[in-house]
Structure 1
Amino acid sequence: MTNRSLLIKLITITVLSLLLMIPLSMVSEQINDRRYYHQQAEDRISTSWSGPQVLSGPRLVVPYKVRRTYEKKEDDGSVVKKTSIVKRELIVQPGHLAYETQVDLESLFSGIYELPVYTSNSDVSGYFSLIELETLNQKKNLVSIGKPRVVVHIQDVRGIVEKPVILFEDEQKYSFSAGSGYSYSGNAIHALLEGRSLGLKGNKVNVKGADAQLRFRLNLRVRGSQYLRFLPVAEETKVSLSSNWPHPKFTGRYLPVSRNVSENGFSASWSISAIAIDRRAQRISKKCGSESCQKNTFGVDLIEPVNIYSQSERSTKYAILFIGLMFIAFFLFEVIKKLPVHPIQYSLVGMALVVFYLLLFALSEQFSFLLAYLIAAIASSLLISWYLRYVFFSRKLAAVFFASISTLYALLYGIIQSEDHAMLMGSMLIFLMLALTMISTRNINWYQLTAVKTSPTGNVKTE
């Protein structure tokens, strides 16, 4: 092989490698399309079941009316005093709020697409400090005090399984109805209370004792999907969460103070004081519901951390590395063993490597990713090795290539599964392959390569 033919061969191999990026990009595009179809299936399931959930509250809302006096300039230039009745609300946040929540997951299907959904069962307890109601006595021009209500914000009220009932320490029970029952128009439920239990008599508030507290308990059973989060609104908010889902992703503004994750599920607990919540967030939380306060929420995402689409896409990122390594191995056999390989044979082997990724993705939608990978890797390795048996006229060399390709596929699977260390493992693989190439070619004098006599078919038969 002369220097000129060597250069031509290297240019040809480089061009073939770049051309193979075209079918690889088509495989990647197919993965993105199927990911989009999967998202549509998830949206259909969420529409029928229930979407992501954010729970906030309960809050105590007391509506009242005040008389407002203002001056208005008439058309003739005179100024007259007018009065109007203005509706306002006093919103009392809980002094203490505790959630004991159990989340049970199951899977729903839309065609071949699967989505984990959950049913949460929350025992909620806490108290309201009634001393805050005495601020109504200080309102000037107070006209009337309306019927108080307890409001719970739920992002998707379609997920409510049973009609909640709030129970106070005096054994009084109140059922919830749809809507917030006050000026906020977001998704919520409310329960109307008797004013007497809060010390409301007419337009006056009479709370006995500076530490008067109204303790409550209620149970919320809510269905949802994708994630479950909470919005802290109390002076002290505690959440204890447990589930049978083994892959939780704790998200939001606050991380749990303790957690335990195993293959059988997880448990976690949060403890958040009002001191940890900035004053602006506290002011907003009195007015907004769960939909508009996402940035102040905390909770857990209940989705697959690495799905088949991200795994398949990650595997295609290493495709050019695999093709390059295979072509380098062919080229070294040409140089060291003097076994010429035609560019068409390079192309066929390269296409077999590309088809591996398409086969992997297609199988992973029907079987587990491990089984799909195993089938695709074995099929690809056997096909390439069988073909090389006739390219090199040697079973031994074909067996060597089969072992090498199988090893590379095993390393690739480890890289795909190791989400946190994929970069490190990929870099080490590239370094190792470069080192092996340099060691294998350390004694080659590239200036003294000679031409090789070939058979009419373009191959040399070796023993």
Structure 2
Amino acid sequence: MTDVAAPPPSGPPPSDPPKRPIRPRRTLFPPDSLLTRATIIGIITLVLLLPLQLINGLVDDRQRYEADAIDSVTASWGRQQTFEGVAIVLPYRQKWTAGPGDIRELEGSLMLLPEKLDLAAQLSPEVRRRGLFDVTLYATTLDVVAEFALKPLKEHRADGRTMNWAAIALGLGLSDVRTIRGGTVEIDGRPLDWLPRSGNGPFSQLEIPLDFADLPQRETITVRFRLSLTGSDSLSFLPTGAHTEATVTSPWPSPSFIGRYLPSEQRVSAEGFRAHWSVPFLARGYGQLWDSERKSEPSPAMVQKTAFGVRLLSPVGPYRETDRALKYGILFIGLTFAVCLML
């Protein structure tokens, strides 16, 4: 008996079960996405900026130490100087009636500015060291010629004031009077000496009593004097003359002219500079006669705005150069990776 093979199944052969499509694996930062590139570039930028910030902190500390060193030296030698000028100060008294039977007496002073003021300054700069830092100082000789016309003072007799001609004085204003090293004064050919004066008003740092017997009869007074003083950084002047002429010369090669008025003439070279200012009355903005009690005296802020002068610029120091390089470094890093992000 033989085995009989089973007949083949009829119909198409069975097919394999369908395969599921392979889905890409999801990640938080796909390697080809803009977010991934931006994140990587941001991390690299922060890593590169970290040493820049550490160096910037060191530079800030050194600049603060430099400011402290400059302040320490200039506190003893002299700070920025402003020559305010000279004026004739005449005290007066005036009686006025406040009410029935109430008569009061008012005390004030008139301050007369010069008709012509000539200034000539010779700056002798000096660089001193305090630790790691250089401090720019100067000594100067200031020659002053002031011409006064006394007529405005005499005209005030008619308004009921009693002028105290015995107490009339010449007052001088200077921002830092501690730095005066010496000075001589000549008034109409008569040598006199400065005296200290305690006051908070204008032209109240030094004074000279004008004890001339014939002063009420005079029409003009000419004052000549020389001051030797020290300072730092800058020297400025106030145009307190009806016509002010100022000249500054110095061997310093890098001046910066500051204030309300620029020099009418200037010459700057490697050997130094010479500058000349000419300030007329109309450009100044305040009058010739100030009254302390009638509020004709201009405000100190208004007067200070008319200052002009020169600053002794120092060469750019290493810490300032490093500070600039750090700022450019941040710019270069930012621009470089911004371009990489756009590619």
Q: Quick check: TM above 0.5?
A: yes
Q: Which has the higher contact order (CA 8 A, sep 6+)?
A: 2
Instruction: Answer yes or no: is 1:38 the counterpart of 2:66.
Output: yes
Q: Which digits, 9 at most, give the CA deviation of each residue in 1:416-462, with x for residues without a partner? A: xxxxxxxxxxxxxxxxxx8xx9xxxxxxxx9xxxxxxxxxxxxxxxx
The total of aligned residue pairs comes to 308
Helix, strand or coil: the match of 1:254? coil
Residue 301 (structure 2) pairs with residue 273 (structure 1): no
Q: Is structure 2 residue 204 aligned with structure 1 residue 176?
A: no
Superposition deviation, residue 5 in structure 1: 6.9
Higher-helix-fraction structure = 1
1:71-123 per-residue CA deviation (whole Å, 9 max, x = no partner) reads 1xxxxxxxx41223322212111000010110001012221121010011111
Cα drift, residue 284 of structure 1: 10
Provide Cα deviations, 1:187-242, integer angstroms capped at 9, x if missing partner.
611111114242x2xxxxx34xxxx3211210011100111100111100000001
Bigger CA drift: 44-53 or 312-321? 312-321
Letter in 2 for 1:108: R
SS in 1 for 2:263: coil
What CA distance in whole angstroms lies between the structure 2 residues aligned with 1:81 and 1:172? 48
1:250 aligns with 2:270: no
Structure with the larger strand share: 2
Q: What's the C-alpha RMSD, in Å, of the aligned pairs? A: 3.1
Corresponding residue for residue 146 of structure 2: 126
Question: Which amino acid is the alignment partner of residue 18 of structure 1?
Answer: L
2:186 aligned to which of 167, 181, 184? 167
C-alpha distance in 2 between matches for 1:44 and 1:88? 40
1:250 Cα deviation from its structure 2 partner: 0.8
Aligned pair 1:298/2:308, yes or no?
yes
Bigger Rg, structure 1 or 2: 2
Among candidates 258, 261, 267, match of residue 268 of structure 2:
261
In structure 2, what residue type is equivalent to 1:175? D
Is contact 2:115–2:243 with CA below 8 Å preserved after alignment? yes
Letter in 1 for 2:230: R
Q: Residue 161 of structure 1: SS of its match in structure 2?
A: strand
Aligned partner of 1:194 among 211, 216, 231 = 211
Match 2:57 to one of 25, 29, 45: 29
Q: Name the counterpart of 2:21.
A: none
- Equivalent residues of 2:111, 2:291 under 8 A apart: no
* Secondary structure, counterpart of 1:18 in structure 2: helix
1:322-373 deviation digits (Å, cap 9, x = unpaired):
5578889xxxxxxxxxxxxxxxxxxxxxxxxxxxxxxxxxxxxxxxxxxxxx
Structure 2 portions without partners, runs of 5+: 1-29
Could you tell me which amino acid in structure 2 is paired with residue 274 of structure 1? F
Output the TM-score relative to the length of structure 2: 0.79
Query: Are the equivalent residues in 2 in contact too, given 1:157–1:187 (CA < 8 A)?
Result: no
Cα distance in 1 for partners of 2:153, 2:161 equals: 16
Indicate the residue corresponding to 1:63 in structure 2. Answer: 91
Alignment of 1:8-407 (within 5 A): 12-71=40-99, 80-140=100-160, 142=162, 144-162=164-182, 164-169=183-188, 171-179=189-197, 184=201, 188-198=205-215, 200=216, 206-207=217-218, 212-279=219-286, 287=297, 293-304=303-314, 306-323=316-333
Distance 1:117 1:229 in 2: 15
- Normalised by the length of structure 1, the TM-score is 0.60
Q: Which amino acid aligns with 2:93?
A: K
Identical columns (%): 28
Aligned-partner Cα distance in 2 for 1:90–1:242: 34
Separation (CA, whole Å) in 2 of partners of 1:52 and 1:81: 53
